Structure 1
Amino acid sequence: MFQKRKQRREYFEASLMKMGMELEAARSVVDEKLLFVKVHMPWDMLCTYAEVLHIKMPIQPNDLSTTSSTFNFLSCITKHFYPSEDLIAKETEYFTAPFEKDRLEYFYVKDRDLFFTPSMRSRMAYYILSRAPYEVRGNIKKFGVTKLLDGGVYKAAYPLHDVSGSEESKEDECPNERYLLYNEWAHPKSFYKMQPLDLIRKYYGEKIGIYFAWLGFYTAMLALAAIVGLACFIYGYMTQETSTWSKEVCDPLIGGNIVMCPQCDKECTYWRLNSTCESSKKLCIFDNYGTLVFAVFMAIWVTVFLEFWKRYQAELEYEWDTVEFLEQEEQPRPEYEAKCNHERINPVTRVRKMPIHMYSNIIFFYITLTFIVLILASVVAIIVYRLAVFFSFSTRLQSDLKELEPFKEYVTAQMATSVTASIISFVVIMVLNILYERVAIWITDFELPRTKTDYENSLTLKMFLFQFVNYYSSCFYIAFVKGKVVGYPGQPVYLLGKYRNEECDPGGCLIELTTQLTVIMGGKAIWNNIQENLIFRYCTRVGSEKVIPRWEQDYQLQPIGKLGLFYEYLEMVIQFGFVTLFVASFPLAPVLALVNNLFEIRVDAWKIITQFRRMVPEKAQDIGAWQPILQGVAILAVASNAMIIAFTSDMIPRLVYYWSFSVYPYGDHSSHTMQGYINNTLSVFDIQDFSNKSRYRDFRYPPGHHRQYEYSIYYWHVIAAKMAFIIVVEHIVYLTKFVLSYVIPDVPYTVREQIKREKYLSQVILHETNLKLVTKRLKPVADKILKHNEDKEEEIMDLHF
């Protein structure tokens, strides 16, 4: 095995030198058994592969005048929120064109050593390393450093960092890019500053740059949503004591005289409505008219966020030369080229390698369906757990109508059951995530996508589909299923023929949904931070940096995962779903997301600068498959929040009562009141154990009515109002979204003009170059024809004389 590895290593290094690379070996100063091979690319080779990869290089400075911003007068204030221009100068804008070695004189080359950026050099070097052969057997050729790493031939392959980004001193008063990024971006003292995106892109490549650009833009937009959400929360908190319905519940003369039916069979007690006074006040914090306004605001906010992100992304695409990246530059993955040996006729290229993965979609469908069934089974198991624990607590309570303490214990027990069920649900979610992640990666590898972008998009769709069901299924259950099919005291509905179906908390299902969201959203953020920080294995350095060379210091750092930023995107998109899908029940969600993201940006920056090896720079045009996923979540959020307000909260019944059934005496329909609302929402059930009647939450006719225990006319008014609310709100919001999408163009006007100017200059250069080549080729022929004509003229003149 050792001999085989040695042969592969020697053949691979010989292949690299044959392709034009320069190799240099260095022995480790820490471990004598460890040998480092440094790879260098000479100028001529850089030019060759820059043309192969269609890398766009500057041809001349941007000569289009930029319009001044209307907010320039605030620059004296805003400049403090940007990185220091003395350290990070603003990048000069250039018009660019795909590099061509034969037309070097047309490109803007001031210094050959600085013409190609370090990220470009690293990308070209990795392209060669991924395609250099290490073994040839007959017609079978094996190639790529990735396979050598997997086979243990090499331990690692990585680009070199600049000098340590965490050191406090500047060398020669000219700090390197890594130091600047650490000092002006990752350091805690710079938490309030905007991100130096151009420098991030220059050092790490476009793919890292576009992620942090998106994360920063999303966090900035969250600030507005957080302010409005916090205002709605404060409004609910301030009005919980003055709310008419909470006052009626807490009033001993109203809520204290209303006896409620037991919420389980045999063991549960009758209880007085004012026992739920505290729950009713908590409900008023989240279920008020401000929440309705905030839900509509968030529906508009998400549209504005996505539309302005597309504009900002278009600007970055032009500035970072990725407008035509997918069509021109992205090369096939080495795994695709190595494994794909099936050819089929293509109408465009006539012959093209195509992978055989006809069964991958079928496998994916059945495996995903199996995991979704597991998720639904876990949801049912959590329901059974809640019912069993609730029943266990109920057997310990005393059934005394006059004493209120037993039911207060019952309310506490029910809340404890809800919280513990949410925690168990969170643990199940994390376990299923680990299992499904491995399966999703295996299926995607089996599919054999052609490019890395295709690979990531395919994996993204698989992972998000599962994560969507995994994270949100319990929330959808509480919002739209729980407490909706319970029957009434005379005819309850049973689950599994044993347990009486779940009813909502006395404060309503909205409180339970808020609890579930808080536990899952907060638990996920805490768990991710534990993974990223507390459990993070810090690299250990031996000796000092003056003794250990740069390449060996980088070897001691953590390697970046194969999926790169995939999990960072997934974490943020799941958070985006919590912020938008259920915001009607939890207006503080944007606040929590904002606080988390402010730390997330700096923690991620600190990790990649100080704790990880420098990753191979990659090109990226946009955020990939995450863009349509965000758009899909935004569309679903409108319907989700409208249905939460209609079916989970008490907003619509209150409005129906206020405008239709509540008027002051003597027929004064111009004056409305909420007095008597609580009594109106309760139905009467006839019992023989007490002289008075018992109540339960529903809209049914009382005993003695010719349609007793059937739904009352008020119920149908409420249902009609709920459906009308959903239809009206959805149409208004979707119309607004359509108008905003039409009014806000995806590509700014200035960017379109710059793209046209750049294409024109590229065509001019191409025309002039071709004209010179044609002139150079035809000159000998033209000279010969001219010489021939001159000889003919001389002969004619001689004959004439």
Structure 2
Amino acid sequence: MRELKEEEDEQQEQPVYEIALVFPKRGEGVIEDNEGSCDAMEVLVNEFKNVGFLVEIVPGLAHEFIKLAAPLEVIGKAAAELQIRKRTNIGMDLAFEWDQIKAFARQADGSLFSWCERYHCYQHMLSRIVNKSKAAVSLQYDRKNFSWEPWEPLLQRLEKESILKKVYPLHDERKKKSLLRSWALNWWDFTAQPIDDIYLYFGTKIAIYFAFLGMYTRWLLFPAALGIVLRIVDFGSLEFLVLPVFFICIISWAVFFFQFWKRKNYALLARWKISYTVGTGPGYKVFGMDMNSRQHPLEFEKKLEADNVKEKEAYQRDEWTGRLKRIRNDAIVILSIICLQLPFELAYAHLYEKVGSDIIKFGLTAVYLVILQYFTRIGGKVSADLIKNENIENKEYRADSLVYKLFGLYFMQTYIGVFYHALLHRNILTLRKVLIQRLIVSEVFENLLENSLPYFKYSYKKFGAVRYKKKHDKGSSAGKVKVTSRVEKEYLKSAYSASIGGELEDGLFDDFLELALQFGMIMMFACAFPLTFAFAVINNIMEIRTDALKLLVIHKRPVPRAAATIGAWLNIFQFLIVMSICTNCALLVCLYDVEGNWKLEPGLAAILVIEHILLLIKFGFSRIIPEEPAWVRESRVKNATHAQDVSRELLRSISGGENKMSHLEQRE
């Protein structure tokens, strides 16, 4: 049995081409002009082989490609050099050592390293390719000559010379097809997803998103069923109590959902053997060390020693300067929203209310959406520039700061018109029309847009590659010229990037933003139209499959990002719950105060009491339900205790060795 298991593990650890490099097509019949110049492609391939890569050169229509794979031993030694901390079979997290490979736990699929760990190893091995000679090396590529200086990274030099176009991850076709069957095309299980397989293939951040989306969709079934019951059942004399009871149930549901999501988040990290501390903020730290940076404790200790040399005044100056810059930037964004965006949003909402023709309303909405695209782009660029001046060293802090600023823009765009119809005009019928329009038309349009645009871009790039081939190869017929290699097809696909730019966030920004805006829409106006929850369920079931197809088929394989939670979005969801308490209480006032006098009659006073009770529920239940499951906490404490015992044994052995050495020195 053991031999069979070892054979299966070896088969699963067979090298797979996971990294590709893109170079411009060289002209045929190129003659080396300079004597002593080496072909850059040959030098690069030899360097790859010296590092331990398996190399395959693939010619394309307009580019040349190099595919890289690495045997397990090569990846393992790179992981040991990086001192990647991995879970051992006894439950402790220790720096990986290739000689002690059997001591480290394997992934759920039998592989030793996750995709995120392998990607970091690939990056490390690529960065190690430097000119170790004392003299510069003359290189040539397609009649272009340049020098490779001593200790200069070769890939960096090729990028400067515009020879290396791109380095990107490749899809594993075997695992990709398996995920297509069990996930993207599996329509029978509406919310079921192979989360473990998603984690192993895409990394932690994407797996956490789909785990959140699946759980959120399942939990939405309760308020959706409740909203349908309210719509079809006649409660007679108890009709006036229906909406307040529904309101209380919805807020309680939201509070419970996020508390149980935190518990699930802890359980997932424990199951994936990830030693992150779950938190709502960025920079998830364990014992003061930022785990996103994958910094080894010895390096962290050296950094602490260096930091302690600085004076206290310098620390305080940097701290308060950074805080003042963040306050200034936040104020700029808030004032811009109030002075620029708010009047525009109110003008659109007012015109929409006054215009009687549906055709004119449709045209007005189209113009409004086009202008919003420019507003969002300008806001994203301004926010990104402001964040660069905040002196935030941690990349996750910078990303979360950008998320908060941009969500403020989207919040105003999405909800200010709805607030106008609900609270100022108190027109519930128009409010319901706007909600249906936003939940059905807008979300369907956005799904079509985000999936069709990448396909059109891919088709255009493929057409350009075919045209390039026809131009430079006049002897081939039109029917024979087509993209055949998988590596070139993946290169022509668009990257999974955020609409605000890919420096700080990937495509999950847009996916999380869509969920957050939907959550705010159905929660803040739940009493006006309870059926919105049913629309949200249908949309999310479609969203799971379309997002899966988008990642597996439409886009390149994303670069893995380390993330322990949904980050800043959890704070945004919590903020929307508090906002929904206030807005729904105002809606109940509008619904029950028919005369519009806003008098504190017994019914309206009861609504104010409900508001305070729900705020108490929001902040009270979050303390009653523990965020960390008992079994996860027990396992963590047990591992920590075991680690202390092992550390003591190591200290005893070290101290014992030192005593023996000192005793021998005394005898000598």
Contact 2:333 2:405 in 1 (8 A): no
Write out aligned runs for 1:624-643 (5 A).
Answer: 624-643=567-586
CA RMSD, Structure 1 to Structure 2 (Å) = 4.6
CA distance in 1, matches of 2:408, 2:545: 29
Is the helix fraction higher in 1 or 2? 2
Write out aligned runs for 1:383-422 (5 A).
Answer: 385-386=351-352, 389=355, 413=356
SS in 1 for 2:386: helix
2:218 alignment partner, one of 220, 241, 250: 220
1:724 aligns with 605
1:599 aligns with 542
How far off is 1:437 after superposition?
Answer: 2.5
CA distance in 1, matches of 2:254, 2:105: 44
Query: 1:26-56 deviations in whole A, cap 9, x for unaligned?
Result: 4433237524263647736634545646432
1:104 aligns with 100
1:323 aligns with 276
Aligned pairs, how many? Answer: 569
SS in 1 for 2:440: helix
Query: 1:699-752 deviations in whole A, cap 9, x for unaligned?
Result: xxxxxxxxxxxxxxxx47x43446513420112212233442232111111111
CA distance in 1, matches of 2:642, 2:46: 36
CA distance in 2, matches of 1:303, 1:598: 22
Letter of the 1:614 partner, please give it. Answer: R
2:113 alignment partner, one of 91, 116, 126: 116
1:375 aligns with 341
How far off is 1:443 after superposition?
Answer: 2.9
User: Does 2:254 correspond to 1:302?
Assistant: yes
User: Does 2:170 correspond to 1:160?
Assistant: yes
Compared with structure 1, are the counterparts of its residues 21 and 771 closer, same or farther at alpha carbon in structure 2 (3 Å cutoff)?
Answer: farther
Contact 1:118 1:202 in 2 (8 A): yes
How far off is 1:469 after superposition?
Answer: 1.4
Query: 1:357-393 deviations in whole A, cap 9, x for unaligned?
Result: 775753553355224423222234225535764xxxx
Query: 1:326-359 deviations in whole A, cap 9, x for unaligned?
Result: 344546699xxxxxxxxx9955877999899775
SS in 1 for 2:88: strand
1:586 alignment partner, one of 492, 511, 529: 529
2:623 aligns with 742
Contact 2:60 2:485 in 1 (8 A): no
User: Does 2:496 correspond to 1:615?
Assistant: no
Compared with structure 1, are the counterparts of its residues 559 and 535 closer, same or farther at alpha carbon in structure 2 (3 Å cutoff)?
Answer: closer
Write out aligned runs for 1:284-683 (5 A).
Answer: 289-320=241-272, 321-324=274-277, 326-327=285-286, 328=289, 330=291, 346-347=307-308, 362-363=328-329, 365-382=331-348, 385-386=351-352, 389=355, 413=356, 425-426=368-369, 428-447=371-390, 449-482=392-425, 509-537=427-455, 539=458, 551-561=487-497, 562=502, 563-564=505-506, 565-646=508-589, 648-649=590-591, 651-653=592-594, 681=595
Compared with structure 1, are the counterparts of its residues 760 and 388 closer, same or farther at alpha carbon in structure 2 (3 Å cutoff)?
Answer: closer
TM-score w.r.t. the length of structure 2 is 0.72
Unmatched runs of 5 consecutive residues or more in structure 1: 61-94, 164-175, 245-286, 335-343, 390-412, 483-507, 654-680, 682-697, 699-714, 789-801
TM-score w.r.t. the length of structure 1 is 0.61
Compared with structure 1, are the counterparts of its residues 641 and 388 closer, same or farther at alpha carbon in structure 2 (3 Å cutoff)?
Answer: closer
How far off is 1:212 after superposition?
Answer: 0.7
Contact 2:49 2:55 in 1 (8 A): no
Contact 2:526 2:532 in 1 (8 A): yes
Larger radius of gyration: 1
Compared with structure 1, are the counterparts of its residues 48 and 432 closer, same or farther at alpha carbon in structure 2 (3 Å cutoff)?
Answer: same
State percent identity of aligned pairs: 23
Letter of the 1:299 partner, please give it. Answer: I
Contact 2:276 2:291 in 1 (8 A): no
How far off is 1:15 after superposition?
Answer: 14
Compared with structure 1, are the counterparts of its residues 434 and 732 closer, same or farther at alpha carbon in structure 2 (3 Å cutoff)?
Answer: same
Compared with structure 1, are the counterparts of its residues 744 and 380 closer, same or farther at alpha carbon in structure 2 (3 Å cutoff)?
Answer: closer
CA distance in 1, matches of 2:525, 2:186: 32
User: Does 2:230 correspond to 1:232?
Assistant: yes
Contact 2:57 2:65 in 1 (8 A): yes
User: Does 2:71 correspond to 1:38?
Assistant: no
How far off is 1:200 after superposition?
Answer: 0.9
Contact 1:207 1:619 in 2 (8 A): yes
How far off is 1:185 after superposition?
Answer: 0.6
SS in 1 for 2:563: coil
CA distance in 2, matches of 1:466, 1:447: 19
Compared with structure 1, are the counterparts of its residues 738 and 371 closer, same or farther at alpha carbon in structure 2 (3 Å cutoff)?
Answer: closer
Unmatched runs of 5 consecutive residues or more in structure 2: 1-23, 25-36, 137-146, 278-283, 296-304, 467-478
Query: 1:111-159 deviations in whole A, cap 9, x for unaligned?
Result: 9x9422343211332356579889999xxx9989799769844322122
1:755 aligns with 636
SS in 2 for 1:28: strand
How far off is 1:642 after superposition?
Answer: 0.7
Letter of the 1:559 partner, please give it. Answer: A
CA distance in 2, matches of 1:148, 1:449: 31
CA distance in 1, matches of 2:327, 2:130: 32
CA distance in 2, matches of 1:510, 1:42: 63
Compared with structure 1, are the counterparts of its residues 195 and 130 closer, same or farther at alpha carbon in structure 2 (3 Å cutoff)?
Answer: farther
Compared with structure 1, are the counterparts of its residues 127 and 371 closer, same or farther at alpha carbon in structure 2 (3 Å cutoff)?
Answer: farther
CA distance in 2, matches of 1:428, 1:207: 32
Compared with structure 1, are the counterparts of its residues 368 and 20 closer, same or farther at alpha carbon in structure 2 (3 Å cutoff)?
Answer: farther
